[in-house]
Amino acid sequence: MRVLFLFIGEPHHLFHALPIAAEMAAAGYCPTIALASEAHVRVMQRLADIYPAFAPDVHLLGRGRITRLLRAIGIGRHSRLLTLLSALPFLRGFDAIVVPERTTTLIRHLLPRHTSLIFTPHGAGDRAIMLDPRDRHFDFVLVCGEKSEQRLLEAGTIRPGHYATNGYVKLDLMAQMQRRRVPLFDNDRPTVVYAPHFRRSLSSWDRFGQDVIAWFSAQDRYNLVVAPHVRLFADAPQSARDAITALAIPGKVMIDLDSDRLFDMSYMIGADIYLGDVSSQVYEFLAIPRPCLFLNAHDVQWQGDADYLFWTLGDVLDDLSDLQQALDRAATRHPHYIDAQRLRLAESVGGDPTGAARRGADAIAAFLENGGPAGKSEI
């Protein structure tokens, strides 16, 4: 059986799906890997030390005549779709295609009927964005935890017999990578990681971002790492990016808009306090329960809203006037939240992430070999 792991989205998606491919290879499968860019290749090379026995057949997409033709007629503006269409003859040769994004559903009906399209998510947030109707086009879906399972079933985007809960693959991987980490700062000040969402209608960046940097720059009690979602500045002009990174202060304020450290949890594991808005990265931070603060930049009436469930895991600030007080008392208030943090983490990412990649590989293999289980599959 020919199985392809296809990566046409952001390079950080490899952290969520490549470990599953490695586990399938260890079980006797020979998965093929297809990558959309040299940036994807660099991330894969970085992960090679974690899986030294994993030596798959790797294809770099988007370099042929079909790509040039589609770009010439204007489809090149949609880079993911361009990659998919130009690679279609290659993709049609597989019995199963595993993806960590949803754009691939656009070509579902261009693939052979026998080809299974399988989805492994790259996040575990509370927001309704996870309830995507495109998920109905997948033949099989991996789900992180019980909370996601319940909401997806209620929305009808997954169906019994065509999904499995396996845990959060990236946390499983990060536990192995943790041994190689170095401290973020060469001082003993507590470190705060500020992780704003990329979507402007949800993000705290436009209202608070530069003021957060200014506040930390003017004090000497805390370090700050500004680690936004990589898409926040992906389309910004270089001059705007340079203006932000110029605000960094060596030894106190670190600003990272696009490095690999945004993806590998260096900042989430290395920080002492989380400052954010609606990013699902909070659950990566809470792999080790610690104090969290949330910025309500859009004056949301969030209490009782399931999309903001994680705002019950720390203090919520409506403006920055309370930032210093909130930071100073974060450690003493954390005992009020720690039990809820552990509970929400277990619901969202399936508890202990150890073995999540192997469970995902086993679930995919069972689905492909047996045509799908009769009911819910929980490996």
CA angle at residue 334 from 331 to 321, to 5 degrees? 65
205 lies in the same domain as 230: yes
159 lies in the same domain as 222: no
31 lies in the same domain as 159: yes
Residue 173 counted as domain residue: no
261 lies in the same domain as 248: yes
Q: Record the pTM.
A: 0.76
Residue 272 counted as domain residue: yes
Mutual orientation of helices 38-47 and 14-26 as an angle, nearest 10°?
60
8 lies in the same domain as 119: yes
DSSP per-residue string spanning 241-252: HHHHHTT-BTTT
Residue 188 counted as domain residue: yes
Nearest in space to 184 (alpha carbons), one of 269, 293, 78: 269
pLDDT tens digits, residue range 16-73? 999 999 999 999 999 999 999 998 998 898 888 888 899 999 999 976 665 556 555 5
- pLDDT (0 to 100) of residue 150: 83
Per the CB < 8 A criterion, the answer to whether 282 and 310 are in contact is yes
357 lies in the same domain as 272: no
321 lies in the same domain as 282: yes
23 lies in the same domain as 159: yes
**CATH code, 132:** 3.40.50.2000
138 lies in the same domain as 270: no
For residue 304, which phi and psi values (nearest 5 degrees)? Answer: 85, 0
Give the residues of the chain that fall short of pLDDT 70.
63-78, 123-131, 178-181, 350-351, 371-379
Nearest in space to 3 (alpha carbons), one of 44, 31, 29, 28: 31
147 lies in the same domain as 195: no
For 83, the enclosing helix (H) or strand (E) is helix 79-86
189 lies in the same domain as 140: no
Per the CB < 8 A criterion, the answer to whether 53 and 26 are in contact is yes
- 176-209 burial, b for 16+ CB within 10 Å, e for fewer? ebeeeeeebbeeeebbbbbbbbeeeebbbbebbb
For residue 328, which phi and psi values (nearest 5 degrees)? Answer: -65, -30
> Up-side HSE of residue 150: CA atoms within 13 Å toward CB?
9
Per the CB < 8 A criterion, the answer to whether 56 and 30 are in contact is yes
Per the CB < 8 A criterion, the answer to whether 43 and 147 are in contact is no
87 lies in the same domain as 31: yes
- pLDDT (0 to 100) of residue 124: 63
Residue 175 counted as domain residue: no
For 343, the enclosing helix (H) or strand (E) is helix 338-349
Q: Is 227 helix (H, G, I), strand (E, B) or coil?
A: coil
Which is it for strands 57-60 and 140-143: parallel, antiparallel or unpaired?
unpaired
Residue 179 counted as domain residue: no
* Cβ burial, residue 346 (10 Å; 0-12/13-18/19+): middle
Residue 177 counted as domain residue: no
Beta-carbon contacts of residue 28 (< 8 Å; ≥ 6 apart) = none
Q: Using the 8-state DSSP alphabet, how is residue 321 labeled?
A: G
Task: For residue 247, give the amino acid letter.
Answer: L
Tokens of 57: 């057949």
Q: How far is CA 57 from CA 54, 60, 173, 357, in A?
A: 10, 10, 21, 20
Number of compact structural domains in the chain? 2
Residue 225 counted as domain residue: yes
Q: Which domain holds residue 235?
A: 184-349
**CATH code, 212:** 3.40.50.12580
Measured between alpha carbons, how far is 282 from 277 in angstroms, rounded to an integer?
9
Which residue, chain included where needed, has tokens 């993709």? 91
Return the bridge partners of 117, or none. 97
